[in-house]
Amino acid sequence: MSIPGLGQIAPQAPTSTQRTINLRPFGEWRFSIPHQHSTFSSNSSAAGVTVRLVAGTAERDGTELTPHKDYTFLPGTKSKLFTDQGCTLEINNTGGYPLEDRVVEYPHPEQSPMVSYINLHFGLEDYERAAAAHHAQHPLPHQQQGRQGGGGPRPKPGPRVLVCGPHCVGKTSLVKYLGALATRMGSQPLVANLNPTDGLLSLPGTLSAAVFGTLMDVEEPAGGFGVSSTPISGPSQTVKNPLAFYFGREKAGEDVETWKQMTERLAVLCKRKLERNRDVRVAGFLVDTAPVDAGDKEGQELLAWGVRQFDVNYVVVIGSEKLKTELGQRFASEKTSFGEPVTVLGFDKSDGAVQIDKGWRQKSTETAIKEYFFGGIKARLSPFTQSASFDELVVFKAPDDPYEGAPVLERVEITPEMAHWTLAVMIASVTDSPQAIRFSSVLGFIVIADVDVERRRVKFLSPVSGRLGNHPLIWGRWPEPYLNLLA
């Protein structure tokens, strides 16, 4: 597992700690590999904890491991390998990472929350199949006709599921799990994320969506939801194509209006995709959301907004019966635009759901940014450092404290404070209205490396060479600056 050029990793002598564990059906191997405090290197983190599936089946968040293949879990990963049939794993921590792990087994399958998740999957799948059958009976008019005409009854799409719950109950994991299972069965759900704290196939601070047709990358810390699965110029096996809007704040509550509009925009596009793409139409949506507690009226308001926008007909609540009750009341009388009722389902949280503290999250964000520009062990990427004059870059910024009637964006001069910030490159023209720029999708990101006020030049890191042209940039407040990216 040693890859040349890893000088900076693990000054301590690599102690080969290999062991084999057996898991009974519905057992889990939970593990946590802390982030490395490392300076940047494009080929860093080449080593992690290696796991090999010797017998049985095992999966990370629904994506199966291949037998007899080494999987390397990287620092900054908190996850678990789950087996529904029992398995034997060979764990190899040659790198001497401070791996924390434990085996959790249940005497009876029904004690594992995974049972209900699996049942949920099959429930949704049946719904999907019903939708597919429906389509088979009522074939859509040809795409183009569909566009022109739009007459006739609307075909009922597959299930649209929104997952919500309090902090750290495994919302994203469940979304991932459902997505992975669906993918495994050959369908292609559209996964959307409405929680700007994290990024789905994007950097934090964005609201994004992508269709999951390819497998998820089980090795990356985010388990397939990380930015490392976005397109690169070379071949990649787990690539997905994200659509991202740049919210630029950590929490939706910091700018509710924008969040709502952005969610609406995202939903509109997702629904358009749903209409035009048969596979997505059959597979439906999976929507991940920000944490909401029972009694949190504002948070639930946002959830309800998401439910309406995405035409959600299954609201999955994890880890809070009370929240489930409240949402159940809220949606009791609601109907989707397809006339379906909104069903609220409650689930226990897995006791393995881990707390993610601020430090960990920050590290993960940094990892994601690094991954975006420099890639990981799968593919090393070469970003481009560019230099431009102040006049060449058009930077907008959302008002710090949105007030009634505030402009959505205001043009800002490049200042030294921008150094180390990650700016979003928008797919719009600088001449567009601020509104249009704000709600256009993200082309990519750049990181401001250095601002030279005297010469009025700015150095930045861009994933792609070539000028930014007249793509406007947006300077948000999230993700926060990453000081060591270029150190």
**Taking the complex as a whole, how short is the minimal distance between the CB of residue 64 and another protein, in angstroms?**
4
CB closer to another protein, 378 vs 397: 378
CB closer to another protein, 344 vs 409: 344
The answer to whether 265 and 407 have CB atoms below 8 angstroms apart is no
CB closer to another protein, 102 vs 122: 122
DSSP-assigned beta bridge partners for residue 89: 21, 53
d(CA 300, CA 252): 12
**Taking the complex as a whole, how short is the minimal distance between the CB of residue 437 and another protein, in angstroms?**
12
**Taking the complex as a whole, how short is the minimal distance between the CB of residue 54 and another protein, in angstroms?**
14
d(CA 24, CA 56): 10
Planar angle of CA 33, 37, 38, nearest 5 degrees: 115
**Taking the complex as a whole, how short is the minimal distance between the CB of residue 276 and another protein, in angstroms?**
6
Kindly report whether the peptide bond that precedes residue 479 is cis, defined as omega within 30 degrees of 0: yes
From the list 191, 168, 156, 252, the residue with the least C-alpha distance to 62 is 191
Binding site listing: 28, 78, 168-173
**Taking the complex as a whole, how short is the minimal distance between the CB of residue 316 and another protein, in angstroms?**
9
Distances in whole angstroms, Cα of residue 174 to Cα of each of 82, 135, 217, 363, 383: 13, 27, 16, 22, 33
**Taking the complex as a whole, how short is the minimal distance between the CB of residue 24 and another protein, in angstroms?**
12
> Which helix (H) or strand (E) element contains residue 299?
helix 297-309
Neighbour-count burial for 147-186, b at 16+ CB within 10 Å, e otherwise: eeeeeeeebbbbbbbbbbbbeebbbbbbbbbbbbbbbeee
φ, ψ for residue 55, nearest 5 deg: -150, 155
Tokens of 296: 């949190």
What lies within 8 Å, CB to CB, of 234 at 6+ separation is: 379
**Taking the complex as a whole, how short is the minimal distance between the CB of residue 417 and another protein, in angstroms?**
25
Q: In terms of DSSP bridges, do strands 285-288 and 343-347 run parallel, antiparallel, or are they unpaired?
A: unpaired
CB closer to another protein, 373 vs 421: 373
CB closer to another protein, 97 vs 285: 285
Binding site listing for ATP: 28, 78, 168-173
CB closer to another protein, 420 vs 471: 471
Residue where the block lists tokens 């199966």: 64
CB closer to another protein, 21 vs 269: 269
